[in-house]
Amino acid sequence: MTRFVIRRVLWLLLVLLVVSFITFALMHLVPGGPWSREKALAPAVVAALNARYGLDKPFFVQYGNFLMGILHGNLGISYTYQNRSVTQILMQGFPKTAILGTTAFVFAMIVGIALGMAAALRQNTWIDYVCVMFSTVFASVPGFVLGILLMIVFSVILHWFPTGGWGSPSQVVMPAIALAALPAAFIARITRASTLETMRQDYVRTARSKGLLERVVLIRHILRNSLIPVVTVAGPQFAALVTGSVIVETIFSIPGIGRLFVEAVFARDYGLIMGTVLFYSFVISIANLVVDILYGVIDPRIRYD
Amino acid sequence: MATTVNAANSSVRPHHTLWGDAWVRLRRNKLAMAGGIFIILLTLAAIFAPLITPYGFAHQDLTAILQNPSSKHWLGTDGLGRDVFARLLYGARTSLAVGIFTQVIVLGIGLPIGAIAGYAGGRVDNILMRFVDVMYSFPDILLIILIKAILGGGIYQLFFAIGLVAWVDIARLVRGQMMSVKSRDFVAAARAMGGMGPYITERHLLPNSLGPIIVSVTFNVPRAIFTEAALSFIGIGVRPPTPSWGSMISDGYAVIFASWYQVFFPALAIALLMIAFTFLGDGLRDALDPKLRH
């Protein structure tokens, strides 16, 4: 187990290194630079700025400097937000993205598992049909479209929630629902399928025949086993929620990391682009790692060599 | 195999091909048929848009700005006095083109890589799949935005930006299929009769993996369409005046309180098209599942 985790963490570091290199290369391929303006700056000014920030050095030297910076916990400077480091900017955006993503994730898990279980336990009744219909429809509507539709109904027509911004809990509700609907539907589908499968297993029949309370069978035997596939997708879903907020943050004017990235690409803010991509990749990789480790905790049949 | 046994028993069973069977089962699935018919109708409407609406997608009537739906403008007009219905129809061209052409690129990259990894196995497989792992650690949308920023321009660049990122799923799927089909008896038989690698791949491995690939493509088309809409919404998708549902939402978003129709209709169009593809994809998956054959 320990060896497995160590190997995975080393692999994670390697992946992040490759991701950082690819991003660094792509970033420098984007036409223009951080000093491109509507009104061009004087060549001497650009040269001086480039020299000051080391942008006149060869590509690999720049990449090396960037890596050295990371080793010192320094993600570099932002070229648009003067006087603030990328780390500071990310730290300011991160809580918003994290709160939004986590709220949406918890919401998606609770609704998804509840709907999936309800549908499976009442298979072929109206409850089942409603749940299946819900999950089919919401599994296909992207968060950004749902966000717009929610905004029309609850902000423009009913005036229940503000259209965006950040600061009060009421501003989290709509973006969180918009983000959560798709994973909730997806989790409901998977929970339903796997619960139906588990209910037909021999050990469930055995548990019942030895006279266990239905509640105990349900929780200890059916629920626990049917959640294994759910955990498998939970990690990637969490990652998708956090990164999927790029567009939703833009719609609801939430100053999170997603919006920072979009602005950074427009401004060729190399430092900030690098920071956001690495940050997101880190979240995705960690989510996958946690899932791999959780497998063993939930399903004792899995052993790590 | 079942047919041979039946023939021996001389109880004659009508001959069913996999595709014939799948079609029969797909036709019985009402939701899948509804989804398929919606997609076909939308495609026809997009192709024959000039015959359906008298307005062009860039035609401005500055005397009729931000109008509500009426008999003259079925879905109203936007802030530049353009007919929303006409723009929806022409925007469908953009959406469908993105959906189809990104899949061409996705299959062009994903099929060979998946097939090579799955067929060759060993070190080749290892290297290719590690690369796929790295791709998976990238936040999709960020990578697409970055590539689009490099390529610049309009819709063709968009095909590539999305295609270059979205091939990973297909590659993984094809690899898995290859590995499971590779060890089956009929492949061993083909090899014993002297079939060579490429021949076996093309003749036996790919056709037998076709079902899941078709299903996967059916689900990937709406994802590409949605990605285009999202990119056009933040302003790096197709270039105006090319109509796109995403840029219509972006235009209407600015005036949402003045006239919410502007964002409602394109958002609804995207939602309906996504749902149609899901219904069709679900239906195809059930229809093509060999385990459910009668």
Among B138, B221, B233, most A C-beta atoms within 10 A, so best to mutate, is: B138
In the structure encoding, which two tokens stand for residue B168, read together?
A: 């990973």
Percent of chain B predicted with pLDDT > 90: 9
Residues 6+ apart with CB under 8 A from B283: B26, B29, B31, B32, B33, B35, B36
Model pLDDT, residue A300:
63
CA nearest to B263, candidates A151, A254, A246, A155: A151
- Considering A118-127, A228-237, A243-252, the range whose residues carry the highest mean pLDDT is A118-127
- Across A87-91, A105-109, B183-187, least confident range: B183-187
Higher model confidence: residue A88 or residue B8? A88
Three-state DSSP class for residue B78 = coil
Q: Which of A172, A9, A10 is nearest to A105 (CA)?
A: A172
Question: pLDDT (tens digit, 9 = 90+) per residue, B7-34?
Answer: 445 556 666 676 777 788 888 888 889 9
| Residue B2 pLDDT exceeds 50 | no
pLDDT at residue number B44: 92
Q: What is the pLDDT of residue B6?
A: 47
Identify the weakest region by mean pLDDT among A31-45, B88-102, B279-293: A31-45
- The span from the CA of B132 to the CA of B168, in Å, is 6
**A173: pLDDT confidence band, cut at 50, 70 and 90?**
confident
In which region does residue A253 sit, left (phi positive, over 0), alpha (psi from -120 to 50) or beta (all else)? left
3-state secondary structure of B77: strand
Distance from CA of A274 to the nearest CA of B (A): 11
Residue A118 to residue A112: CA distance in whole angstroms: 10
- Residue the block writes with tokens 């899948």: B32
pLDDT classification of A298: cutoffs 50, 70, 90: low
Which two structure tokens, joined as six digits, stand for B284? 């195809």
Residue B176 CA to residue A115 CA, distance in Å, equals 31
Average pLDDT, chain A: 82
**Confidence band (pLDDT; 50, 70, 90) for B130?**
confident
Best of A145, A192, A279 to disrupt the B interface by mutation (most B CBs within 10 Å)? A145
Question: What is the nearest CA distance from B140 to chain A, expressed in angstroms?
Answer: 8
Task: Work out the angle between the directed axes of helices B245-253 and B206-234 (0-180°, nearest 10).
Answer: 30
d(CA A30, CA A245): 23
Nearest to A285 by CA among B152, B174, B227, B134: B134
pLDDT of residue B1: 44
Question: What 3-state DSSP class applies to A218?
Answer: helix
Query: Taking the model in full, what pTM does it have?
Result: 0.82
Supply the mean pLDDT for chain B: 81
Give the separation between CA B138 and CA B117, rounded to whole angstroms: 21
Segment A182-231, tens digit of pLDDT = 889 989 988 888 888 888 888 888 888 888 888 888 888 888 888 878 87
The helix-helix angle for A59-71 and A2-29 (nearest 10°) equals 140
Instruction: Count other C-beta atoms under 10 Å from residue B17's C-beta.
Output: 8
Question: Which tens digits make up the pLDDT trace of A105-163?
Answer: 999 999 999 999 889 888 888 988 888 888 888 888 888 888 888 888 888 888 888 87
What's the pLDDT tens digit per position in B48-89?
888 877 777 777 777 777 777 777 777 777 777 778 888 888
C-alpha gyration radius of chain A: 24
A26–B234: do the CB atoms touch at under 8 Å?
no
Q: Residue B241: what pLDDT?
A: 78
- Torsion A271-A277-A281-A283 (CA) sign: positive
CB B99 within 8 A of CB A240: no
Residues of A in contact with B137 (CB under 8 A): 15-16, 19, 281, 284-285, 288
| Interface residues on B facing A, Cβ-Cβ cutoff 8 A | 31, 133-134, 136-143, 145-147, 149-150, 152, 222, 226, 229-230, 233-234, 236, 249, 253, 256-257, 260, 263-264, 267-268, 270-271, 274-275, 277-279, 282
Q: What is the pLDDT of residue B108?
A: 93
* A2: Cβ contacts below 8 Å, ≥ 6 apart: none
Rounded mean pLDDT, A89-101: 85
Neighbours of A178 (CB within 10 A): 28
Degrees to nearest 5, angle at CA B189 with B184 and B195: 110
* Residue in chain A lying closest to B153 (CA): A31
Which ipTM score applies to this complex?
0.78
Q: How far is A149 from chain B, CA to nearest CA, in Å?
A: 7
Q: What is the pLDDT of residue A296?
A: 67
> Are the beta carbons of B271 and A140 separated by less than 8 Å?
yes
